[in-house]
Amino acid sequence: MGRIRGLDESAGHWAGLTGRAAAHRAAVSERHGHGTVLVLRALGAAVLALALVFPWGPVAEADPPADPPTAADAQAARDAVDAGTLDVQQAESALEALRAELAAAQVRVQVAAADYAEAQLAVELAEREVAAARSVVEKARKGEAAARTSLAEVYRASARDADLGPLGVALEADSVPDMVGRSAAERAVQRKLSGALAAYQDARASSESADARWTAAKKELAAAAGRAQTAFDAAQTAAADLEARTRAAEAERTALVERLAQLRQTSVQIEREREAARAAAAEAAREAAAKAELERQQEARDEARARVRADEAEREAPADSGGSGGSDDGDPPPSGSGPVPAPEPAPAPKPAPEPAPVGPPTSGVTVGSAGRGIGAVAWARTKIGAPYLLGAAGPSSYDCSGLTMMSWASQGVNITRTSRSQYLAVGKVDYGSLRAGDLIFYGSNPSDPASIYHVAMYTGGGTMLEATLPGHPLSESPLRLSNAMPYAGRP
């Protein structure tokens, strides 16, 4: 009521002011008729300003607050997060399957590359054998031609002697011994030249036969190399297709992760870190399993060695000698007690167990020192970033075994060309004894060197350097033991 009374008093006060203002305007109008309009406009503006300051009418109120989320709203939000999580999990599961399939496809590419390297090496060897056989053929042909020429000269000399007759030969000779010597020398030369001619003919025939065999082998090996190249191309195409599918799946998973981040009201970076941690944990689990398996194999080999040493010590120990007299066998039986029972037959000795295979394979030798291994690593590191190229061994591109071969060749140590032959050629060491420059071999069957498909070089500190696949430059990465052969190699 006080507020209303105040408003009424203000209204009356302003009404009085308005009346006096009107009287004043009338007086002024008489004197200044032309200023009436201006005064009225100014007064109207003043009244309007006051009306805006003082609330002449009802006061406007703000909109009422929205209703709080209901339990159904909260449950719907939780359901959306659960659905988004499920979508991400399904995408990650599909991505993991694609990654596994891609890894298998990349192994097939490396197997095809190893097959091609073996076939290409065989072709190169065949080419060298063909060249050697042809060189022998050419040498034999030249020797045969020379022998034929010399033999023809001897025959011509013999023909001249025959034309002279016995009397002419006797007259040309200085003495009887001269005549006899000339005749013997001619026969000796004829025999020697005839033998040389026959030897050259045999060498030529043998070399031509070898040439024919190696030429046929070269054609067959070249066809095998062509098939290996075709298999490599097919495997590489399949791997490239899987890489594209994997990238698409990764993009789809990223979109789902971003959506899940929005639903969870977290950042995309956090979700990506979660995925990276999960993938790293899975990789660590695989590597831990591979390492545990290699350690188990090493323990089995150590136990086998211990058993073999124990068996050898037992066989070398002198046998215990028995008593020398019958009195040591116990008291004699009383007289009249009947026949003495036959003693129990001694149990037959158990056959000695067959010794288990122990130790690293004896194939292969180590000629390089630790210093040369460090030098090989230093040389290989200068090639980081170089492209992978099937069958290449430098200077600007490499495959896996081409890199390891040239790295050790830079230190004056020559090893073979292919990963499979390198495993057979180098010395073998346990993984607990790795040093810089040692070679890590990978195969699909640990007991079969013919299954080897890749080789890398250990660089020390738990890392290795390798040339893996087309499109993947030479790089240094953490040591990988999955699918590793039972032993590393030391050139």
Nearest CA among 453, 431, 429, 432 for reference residue 442: 453
pLDDT at 349: 55
Segment 251-259 shows an average pLDDT of: 82
Q: Which of 108-122, 150-164, 271-285 has the lowest mean pLDDT?
A: 150-164
Domain 96-264, CATH 1.10.287.620 — does that match? Answer: yes
- Residue 330 has φ and ψ, to the nearest 5°, of 125, 180
The pairing of strands 488-490 and 475-478 is unpaired
Has residue 267 got a pLDDT over 90? no
**SS3 at position 290:** helix
Segment 102-110 shows an average pLDDT of: 87
Confidence of residue 301 (pLDDT cuts 50, 70, 90): confident
User: Which tops the pLDDT comparison, 31 or 415?
Assistant: 415
User: Which tops the pLDDT comparison, 90 or 171?
Assistant: 90
Segment 211-224 shows an average pLDDT of: 80
What is the rounded CA–CA span in Å between residue 411 and residue 420? 21
Q: Which residues pair with 283 in a beta bridge?
A: none
Contact 482, 420 (CB under 8 A): no
Query: What is the dihedral sign for C-alpha 118, 121, 127, 130?
Result: negative
pLDDT at 300: 86
Confidence of residue 326 (pLDDT cuts 50, 70, 90): very low
Segment 220-243 shows an average pLDDT of: 85
Has residue 24 got a pLDDT over 70? no
Contact 419, 436 (CB under 8 A): no
Nearest CA among 281, 288, 264, 261 for reference residue 272: 261
pLDDT at 477: 95
Contact 417, 393 (CB under 8 A): yes
Q: What is the pLDDT of residues 408-426, one digit of tens each?
A: 999 999 999 999 999 999 9
Q: What is the pLDDT of residues 184-194, one digit of tens each?
A: 666 666 677 67
pLDDT at 461: 94
DSSP class of 262: H
Neighbouring C-alpha atoms within 13 Å toward the C-beta of 44: 6
Q: What is the pLDDT of residues 123-156, one digit of tens each?
A: 888 888 878 877 877 777 777 677 777 767 766 6
Structure tokens at 447: 């007991």
Mean model confidence pLDDT for the chain: 75
pLDDT at 325: 46
- Cis link prior to 68 (omega < 30° from 0)? no
Neighbour count for residue 484 (Cβ, 10 Å) = 21
pLDDT at 351: 53
Hey, where are the domains in the chain?
A: 7-53, 96-264, 370-490
Q: Which residues pair with 427 in a beta bridge?
A: 490
User: Side chain identity at 466, as an amino acid letter?
Assistant: E
Pick the CATH number of 370-490 from 3.40.50.720, 3.90.1720.10, 3.20.20.450, 3.40.50.200: 3.90.1720.10
pTM assigned to the model: 0.59
What is the rounded CA–CA span in Å between residue 9 and residue 15? 10
What is the secondary structure of 315-380 as a DSSP string? HHSPPPP--SSGGGG-SPPPTTS-PPPPPPPPPPPPPPPPPPP-SS-S--B----HHHHHHHHHHH
Neighbour count for residue 39 (Cβ, 10 Å) = 15
Neighbouring C-alpha atoms within 13 Å toward the C-beta of 37: 1
pLDDT at 458: 97
Has residue 366 got a pLDDT over 50? yes
Nearest CA among 256, 289, 283 for reference residue 88: 256
Nearest CA among 107, 109, 114 for reference residue 423: 114
**SS3 at position 388:** strand
Q: What is the pLDDT of residues 76-104, one digit of tens each?
A: 777 777 777 777 788 778 878 888 888 88
Q: How far is CA 219 from the centre of its chain?
A: 31
Segment 229-247 shows an average pLDDT of: 86
